[in-house]
Amino acid sequence: MTIAIETHDLTRHFGDLVAVDHVNMQVPKGSIYGFLGPNGCGKSTTIRMLCGLLIPTEGGASVLGIDVLDDPEAVKSKIGYMTQRFSLYEDLTVRENLQFMSEIYQMSRTDRAQRIRVQLKKFGLDDRARQLAGTLSGGQRQRLSLAAVTLHEPELLFLDEPTSAVDPESRREFWEFLFDMVDRGTTVLVTTHFMDEAERCHALAILDQGVLVADGSPKQLMAELPASVVEVASDTTRIVREVLLELSEVIDVAQLGSRLHALVQPDVQNPTAFLGAALERKSLLASLKLVAPNLEDVFVMATLGRGADR
């Protein structure tokens, strides 16, 4: 397995705040690696250090075989970085934005013209080449941003919350673009808040308060969840939830529509019978069944209890 990104105790302080705390991870080449975590957990700070935009306080990182401390400019030439906020020029046309980016990447005039044509067609923007970027829809802006950061065909792509402001159809289309790039050998590191997107990643890292608290494939993380998951259906969902949360054997209870997901300590032998008995004592009716964990269950288990220090 060839490694695209490797970190060694990567750490960043801002005064007394430890934004990233001794993170160690490996990202294989040609894969989509997801960063999952609450706001302020250190995802964006980690990306900025990996891009050579921010100097680590401690530790280090290797990106595409280049030490980010020794040669950050060499790293920048091989990567693309798409921020959450639309960062192109709204008063320039789609084509003018791509032309500007081609100059930033110091592409030759021949390569520049050819790549712009390819990107306009690939991302469905050829009929909007003369349209001002500021008049594009959210999905169109997203496609333009991705076209711009991949204009120079980077080996590694950093995407920071790229789909937070677009509709579900645009999100699906965006991920199709990502899988096409990965099939051609590009490595992608993407931060997201969406569990369905996280499940699309080949591997995930969950960060909380700057600490890497879980790492692995979505399937592996769900299979290794240190808890039983019981789905509870009831006409008195809110009351049932309050009762279950009073039990020391219950780690957490999340409401999913008209159902509850209860995380139960793994040493409880028969979790459905145990919860059912507790509800019967309170004269509450409910249907209970043991279910497979989902990524939200993994996220809750990985970050539970750490919020008290925030």
pLDDT, one tens digit per residue, over 23-80 is: 999 999 999 999 998 888 899 999 999 999 999 999 999 999 999 999 999 999 899 9
Cβ distance 119 to 191 under 8 Å? no
Cβ distance 252 to 263 under 8 Å? yes
Backbone phi, psi, residue 31, to 5°:
-135, 165
Cβ distance 260 to 253 under 8 Å? yes
CATH class of 226-292: alpha beta
What's the Cα-to-Cα distance from 158 to each of 52, 69, 139, rounded to whole Å?
12, 18, 18
CA nearest to 177, candidates 157, 191, 192: 157
Other Cβ atoms within 10 Å of 22 Cβ, number: 15
Please state which of the four CATH numbers 3.40.50.880, 1.10.760.10, 3.40.50.300, 3.90.1150.10 is assigned to the domain occupying 3-219.
3.40.50.300
Cβ distance 82 to 160 under 8 Å? yes
- Quote the CA–CA distance of 181 and 297 in Å, as a whole number: 30
* Residue 133 confidence (pLDDT): 94
| Domain assignments of the chain as residue spans, ordered by start | 3-219, 226-292
pTM here is 0.88
Which residues, 6+ apart, have CB-to-CB distance to 96 below 8 Å?
Answer: 89
- Quote the CA–CA distance of 79 and 58 in Å, as a whole number: 23
* Residue 308 confidence (pLDDT): 40
* Residue 309 confidence (pLDDT): 41
Decide whether 3-219 matches 226-292 in CATH topology: no
Mean pLDDT by 10 residues, the chain (310 residues): 94 96 96 90 93 95 96 92 85 95 90 94 94 92 92 94 81 91 95 88 94 95 95 95 96 91 95 96 96 93 62
Which DSSP helix (H) or strand (E) runs through 19? Answer: strand 17-28
